[in-house]
Chain A
Amino acid sequence: MAKKLDAYLKPMNKAGTAFYGFLAVMVAVIAVGAYALSLQFSQGHTVSGLDDIGAGGASWGLYVTMLVYFIGISYAGISVSAAVRLLGKTEYKPVARMGELLSVIGILLGSLAILFDLGQPLRGLINIFAYGRIGSPLFFTMSVIAGAYLFSTLVYMYITTRRDASILKSKGLGAGWLNSILSSGYKDTAASRQKHETASRYLSMAILPLLVMAHSFLGFNIGLTVARPGWFGAIQAPAFIAIAAASGIGALIIIVAVFRHFHKMQDILTDNIFKGLGAFMGAATGVYIYMLIAEMYVMRYSSTVEEGIIANALLFGEFAPLYWIELLSFAAAFTIIFAMFVRKSYNVTGIVVSAILVNIGAVIARQLILVPSQTIGSQLPYAIGVYTPTWVELSVVAALFALGAFAYALISKVYPLVELPEDVGGEI
């Protein structure tokens, strides 16, 4: 039994030099980003590439791109947990909690990204609660995502971790203070397990519509902007869900692969898990490719003059290199997964490569949804704009990624990221 428990707790083993070296690098990147951010706060957005739309720039740039990307990757958590709890796909239990932590970190990073976009973040934070309009997709996104989605995921993680925390506490493993808090009042009886299972199942049911609403309203922020060609349209909401599914599961695949490799957990984080996650990611990627093509077809065939300008810029103009990299990334990712399934020969490396390609495509996709419509797609007689992120924005974004990686790595040392199976533990 001890040997079995050890296998699940490998990420919590004593950290080595490589781990501390990784943390040090992340701290260095965060420090550079913090310095860049301090410049932005003291000197204003003149140090970033952002500008007023009428003044030849884009007011929604890299920060909003990262807001959408990070919220998008938060899709992974509850979708995997829902598959486990509601569909009985217990084979994904080992990765459910990893997905939940990814969701929490994704939402927090996305929230930071949008705060950094504001010239006065504190004012924005206070005013949105003071004056937010419920009919506004912007406010609804914030309240549903940051309020409900984040908090419900935290509650879900708490409920599903109590048993594991109590086992670790009884065996003196992990962080004693954290295990005491999480397991406070818990008794590992059959009745208690049933209660927790019931609560987590109903919570999954409640979180699923929040998941759909959160990503839909993120898309509605763009899709309901009637005066902005390239943004306005019904396809934005479902497209946001599709790309969130693809990039979220893709990010989870990458994280699981890292843990499997560095902690030698091939027997727990099995090839079958990668196969299943890869299939879901591939399907979502296929759906998103279809939506990309459908949207471009409409823009080119019968749309406003401004949308035609944007379409040409994406296909052949200044945004063409990024657009084709995006399309080819998604196409390559989909082809790799599809080929594996046609040949019935699955390869973890190939699935991870697909996941990386999907996430590269996802970041570019968000940038191309936002920027062209601001710089060249205006219905007002503005001059053509240009947006290029400066080192300040790039440093801050790099710092956000580093912060996420740092937090994930640190938490993995004190918090059991792989759910312990039923036959480990017993009456406590």
Chain B
Amino acid sequence: MGGAVAGVTLLLGLIIAAIGVMGVAPIGPISGPVVSDPSIQFGAGLWVLGIIVMLLSPIAYVTGSD
């Protein structure tokens, strides 16, 4: 059970981080404000949040039932 919850937490974090990565400004040279601005406001914050959620998975594993 603990392993399953940990897996779900890991996956959820990965999804959030992926959404964040897709929402930030594109990597590469800036050719204008349309390209340099993020497509999702606080996309970078989502990327960090996704990493944090992924890191909660060990807690889910150890606190979950055996």
Q: Which residues of A contact B (CB under 8 A)?
A: 128-135, 139, 143, 146-148, 151-152, 155-156, 158-159, 162, 185, 191-192, 195-196, 199-200, 202-203
Contacts and interface: CB of A to CB of B under 8 A. Distances in A.
Contacts of A135: 27-28
Interface residues of B, number: 25
Most buried by A among B48, B52, B61, B66: B48
The list of the 10 closest CB pairs from A to B, nearest first, reads: A132-B44, A129-B45, A135-B27, A147-B48, A199-B58, A148-B51, A143-B48, A133-B25, A199-B62, A152-B55
A134 B27 contact: yes
A151 B51 CA distance: 9
Chain A contact residues, majority secondary structure: helix
Given A129-B48, A131-B38, A158-B59, A191 B66 contact: yes
B62 A131 contact: no
B24 A162 contact: no
27 contacts: A129-B42, A129-B45, A130-B38, A130-B42, A130-B45, A131-B25, A131-B37, A132-B44, A132-B45, A133-B44, A134-B25, A134-B44, A134-B47, A135-B27, A143-B47, A143-B48, A143-B51, A147-B48, A147-B52, A148-B51, A148-B55, A151-B52, A151-B55, A158-B59, A192-B66, A195-B62, A200-B58
Given A155-B58, A195-B2, 8 more contacts: A130-B42, A131-B25, A134-B21, A134-B44, A146-B48, A185-B63, A191-B66, A195-B62
A132 B38 CA distance: 8
